[in-house]
Every structure is written in structure tokens, then in C-alpha cells.
Amino acid sequence: MKIHTAMPAGLKPFYREELLLAKKEFDKKHYQQSWRHLERAHILGQPYPLAHTAVHWKMLGFGIKIKNSKEIIGQLPRLLFGGVKSFVGKIPVGNTGGANVPPLLSMEIPEDLLLIINRSKNL
């Protein structure tokens, strides 16, 4: 079992960029594009407890702002257990993190993100 704590330095800029793009798109009321960037940030941050939890907070905030009760309710257990699962290395790899997907479902990681993840491991 691999215990993760801190996100690798080579991955942080990509994670932060996805969160920044999510905010920019949200501010322009481009909610679908904003959500896509939150999902991408989730994939990048998922193995790391703090980053993983932070994305779920952002997803909860998104749900609150657009008044989506399914997302609000769906984020609560993810907030409680996501970071713990990251800490012990038991995450559903590639899961996009929203209430629209089962929380334990592993998913295919988009190729561009997989490349970023693999490069960050070699730094």
C-alpha cells in the first residue's frame, strides 16, 4: 500500500491551472466547461488527500452556487471519505469526482492528463 501525502511539485501547476480555469469559466457562466475543469483537477489531485479534499470542496461550492441538490448531497460523503481514501491509496483511479458518477468507479484517465501524471512521477 502506497501512502500519499503531498502532491509532486511537477503536478501542482497543472492542478492549479485546472482550478483557475474552472473559476474563470464559472465567472463567465460557462458552467459545463467550469465543471469539466473541476473534474480534471479531481483526476490530478485524487491521490493526494489535501488536493483531493480541496476539489470536493470546490465541487460542493459549485453545486451550492448553481442550486444543484444532487451535487450538494453527492459531495458530502465524498468530502468525508475522499481524503482518507487518498491517504491510504485506495482511490478509484480516474474517477471524475462528481455526483453524476458512482464514487467507487474507476475510469479511464484522459490521455493528456495521463501524460502529465506520468511525467510528474519522473521529476
In a domain, 4, yes or no: no
* Domain-embedded: residue 3: no
Residue 123 is predicted with a pLDDT of: 60
Amino acid 2: pLDDT: 57
CA distances from 111 to 17, 108, 114 (A): 17, 9, 5
pLDDT at 4: 64
Please check whether residue 99 lies inside any domain of the structure: yes
Instruction: Give the mean model confidence (pLDDT) for residues 48-64.
Output: 96
Question: pTM (2 decimals)?
Answer: 0.93
Question: Is residue 1's pLDDT more than 80?
Answer: no
Asked if the structure places residue 5 within a domain, the reply is: no
Count: domains in the chain: 1
pLDDT digits (tens, 9 = 90+) for 67-96: 999 999 999 999 988 887 887 778 899 999
Place of cell 466547461: 33
With respect to residue 106, please indicate whether it lies within any of the assigned structural domains.
Answer: yes
Average pLDDT over residues 28-53: 96
Query: What percentage of the chain carries pLDDT values higher than 70?
Result: 95
**Residues 120, 6: contact at Cβ < 8 Å?**
no
Query: Which structural domain range is residue 57 located in?
Result: 12-121
